């Protein structure tokens, strides 16, 4: 009898352990299912703003960012990957509805639309978003925080006003726009030029300016800053370390250039087609000169044994020592 009772107790204990273990396993299955569900949610594709064409109007609508696009080369030549690119000649109006939070890279490149109204929900304008477009009027909304590189380059805007909310401006964003004003504490307009708040980066210059005095804090001359301007002479403060791409491209009135003694890099095409520069002194601090940075000027003045000497020799340019 005692043996039977002992056997019963042992069976009950084993059964209890099995039940507890089963519960634990069941809980583990539920936890894994929840984790799996959360992983699936995290891996869901991002939802972008939608678009449609009604008559001659392109409408961007929905909640969230526009997709980013790009410029590609294929068997048909150069084109933008926007799905409405083939309809650019037919689109006369663009409406961006409230709820859309960004204008994608290359979104309206080469568009023939003259005006566009951006909603207050827009936080970002992507790289080359309006590059080469026919736009002649735009109001940047309060709440906009970022303007990408070359966003408004090579377009027909007579002026642009930067909102208080703006925190970031990319290289060459305003191209050859004649007038830029700023309400942002992050960017200041002084004289005929736009700088970051610390005046370390030069972002835009009035192309009609024939002369300019640059601040002693300046370190970077941004891409496309002076290209095809009427500048006659430029003296860089010794704080300048970088001259960007296309910076003075096509400045056919430019005759005298004094480079910074601490200059380190000169970008591609920086002084190309500046046909009246007869000689230029390149400081020994320079460690990089980009492709087609200069025309074949009469004389480069370099320091013996410097990078500039090696570069001039490699290019087959005439040079003399300081």
Element (H, E) at 139: strand 137-139
Is 292 within the bounds of a domain?
A: yes
Is 208 within the bounds of a domain?
A: yes
If one counts every other C-beta atom within 10 angstroms of the C-beta of residue 162, the result is 21
Q: Is the pLDDT of residue 254 over 80?
A: yes
pLDDT tens-digit readout, 30-52: 333 333 344 444 556 678 999 99
Q: Look at residue 169 in the predicted model and tell me its pLDDT.
A: 97
The angle subtended at Cα 269 by Cα 177 and Cα 189, nearest 5°, is 30
The mean pLDDT of 96-115, rounded to a whole number, is 96
Q: Look at residue 46 in the predicted model and tell me its pLDDT.
A: 76
Picking from 13-22, 136-145, 254-263, which range would have the lowest pLDDT averaged per residue? 13-22
pLDDT tens-digit readout, 151-161: 999 999 999 99
Extract long-range pairs of 66-73: CB within 8 Å, 24+ residues apart: 66/100, 66/102, 66/103, 66/104, 66/107, 66/126, 67/104, 68/104, 68/105, 68/106, 68/126, 69/104, 69/105, 69/106, 69/107, 70/105, 70/106, 71/106, 71/109, 71/128
Is 28 within the bounds of a domain?
A: no
Q: Look at residue 197 in the predicted model and tell me its pLDDT.
A: 97
Q: Look at residue 44 in the predicted model and tell me its pLDDT.
A: 62
Q: Look at residue 22 in the predicted model and tell me its pLDDT.
A: 42
The mean pLDDT of 56-61, rounded to a whole number, is 96
Q: Look at residue 27 in the predicted model and tell me its pLDDT.
A: 38
Total of domains in the chain: 2
Q: Is the pLDDT of residue 258 over 90?
A: yes
Same structural domain, 59 and 166: yes
Confidence tier at 310 by pLDDT (50, 70, 90): very high
pLDDT tens-digit readout, 231-245: 999 999 999 999 999
Of the candidates 181, 171, 269, 173, the residue with the CA atom closest to the CA atom of residue 220: 171
Is 99 within the bounds of a domain?
A: yes
How many Å apart are CA 109 and CA 167, to the nearest integer? 23
Task: Tell me the CATH number at 61.
Answer: 3.80.10.10
Same structural domain, 280 and 320: yes
If one counts every other C-beta atom within 10 angstroms of the C-beta of residue 37, the result is 10
Same structural domain, 165 and 214: no
Residue 163's domain comprises: 47-185
- If you count them, how many residues does the chain have? 322
The mean pLDDT of 265-289, rounded to a whole number, is 96
Q: Look at residue 295 in the predicted model and tell me its pLDDT.
A: 85
Same structural domain, 211 and 292: yes
Average pLDDT, the chain: 88
Same structural domain, 196 and 72: no
Same structural domain, 230 and 303: yes
Residue ranges in the chain assigned as alpha helix (H): 2-42, 307-315
Percent of the chain with pLDDT over 70: 86
Is 2 within the bounds of a domain?
A: no
Same structural domain, 310 and 278: yes
- Out of 185, 215, 248, pick the residue that ends a domain: 185
Task: Tell me the CATH number at 318.
Answer: 3.80.10
The mean pLDDT of 244-268, rounded to a whole number, is 96
The mean pLDDT of 103-118, rounded to a whole number, is 94
Q: Look at residue 101 in the predicted model and tell me its pLDDT.
A: 98
If one counts every other C-beta atom within 10 angstroms of the C-beta of residue 16, the result is 10
Is 27 within the bounds of a domain?
A: no
Same structural domain, 163 and 265: no
Residue 76 CB burial class (10 angstroms; 0-12, 13-18, ≥19): exposed
- pTM for the whole thing? 0.82
How many Å apart are CA 95 and CA 118, to the nearest integer? 8
Of the candidates 164, 156, 231, the residue with the CA atom closest to the CA atom of residue 193: 231
Is 162 within the bounds of a domain?
A: yes
Q: Look at residue 43 in the predicted model and tell me its pLDDT.
A: 53
Q: Which residues contact 102 (CB under 8 A, 6 or more apart)?
A: 65, 66, 122, 123, 124, 125, 126
Is 18 within the bounds of a domain?
A: no
- Out of 134, 150, 185, pick the residue that ends a domain: 185
- Out of 142, 170, 185, pick the residue that ends a domain: 185
Q: Which residues contact 135 (CB under 8 A, 6 or more apart)?
A: 108, 111, 113, 114, 115, 116, 152, 155, 156, 157
Picking from 2-16, 50-64, 264-278, which range would have the lowest pLDDT averaged per residue? 2-16
Q: Look at residue 42 in the predicted model and tell me its pLDDT.
A: 53
Same structural domain, 88 and 109: yes
How far is the CA of 48 from the CAs of 102, 279, 306, in angstroms? 10, 53, 52
Alpha carbon 242 to its chain centroid, in Å, reads 18
124-125/168-169 β-pairing: unpaired
Same structural domain, 202 and 160: no
Considering only CA atoms, give the Rg of the chain: 30
Same structural domain, 196 and 180: no
Beta bridge partners of 279: 299
Same structural domain, 168 and 283: no
pLDDT tens-digit readout, 73-87: 888 788 999 999 999
Q: Which residues contact 312 (CB under 8 A, 6 or more apart)?
A: 282, 300, 302, 318, 319
Strand stretches in 8-132, DSSP E:
50-54, 57-61, 64-65, 71-74, 77-80, 93-96, 100-103, 115-117, 124-125
């Amino acid at each position: 009898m005692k043996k039977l009772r002992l056997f019963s107790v042992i069976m009950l204990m084993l059964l209890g352990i099995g039940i507890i273990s089963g519960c634990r396993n069941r809980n583990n299955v539920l936890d894994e299912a929840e984790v799996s569900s959360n992983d699936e949610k995290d891996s869901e594709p991002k939802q972008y703003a939608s678009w449609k064409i009604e008559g001659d109007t392109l409408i961007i609508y929905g909640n969230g960012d526009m997709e980013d696009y790009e410029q590609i080369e294929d068997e048909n030549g150069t084109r933008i990957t926007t799905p409405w690119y083939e309809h650019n000649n037919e689109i006369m109006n663009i409406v961006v509805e409230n709820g859309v939070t960004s204008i994608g890279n290359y979104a309206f490149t080469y568009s023939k639309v003259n005006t566009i109204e951006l909603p207050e929900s827009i936080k970002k304008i992507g790289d080359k978003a309006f590059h080469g477009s026919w736009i002649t009027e735009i109001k940047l909304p309060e709440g906009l925080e970022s303007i990408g590189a070359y966003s408004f380059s090579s377009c027909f805007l007579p002026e642009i006003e930067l909102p208080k909310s703006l925190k970031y401006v990319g290289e060459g964003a305003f191209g050859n726009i004649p007038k830029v004003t700023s309400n942002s504490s992050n960017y200041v307009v002084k004289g005929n030029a736009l700088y970051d708040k610390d005046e370390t980066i030069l972002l835009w210059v009035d192309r009609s300016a024939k002369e300019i005095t640059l601040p002693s804090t300046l370190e970077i001359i941004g891409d496309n800053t002076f290209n095809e301007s009427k500048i006659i002479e430029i003296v860089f403060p010794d704080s300048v370390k970088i001259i960007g791409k296309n910076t003075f491209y096509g400045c056919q009135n430019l005759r005298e250039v004094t480079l910074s003694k601490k200059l380190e890099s000169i970008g591609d095409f920086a002084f190309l087609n500046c046909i009246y520069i007869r000689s230029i002194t390149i400081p020994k601090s320079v460690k990089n000169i980009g492709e087609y940075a200069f025309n074949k000027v009469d004389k480069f003045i370099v320091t013996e044994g410097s990078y500039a000497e090696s570069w001039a020799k490699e290019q087959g340019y005439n040079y003399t020592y300081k």
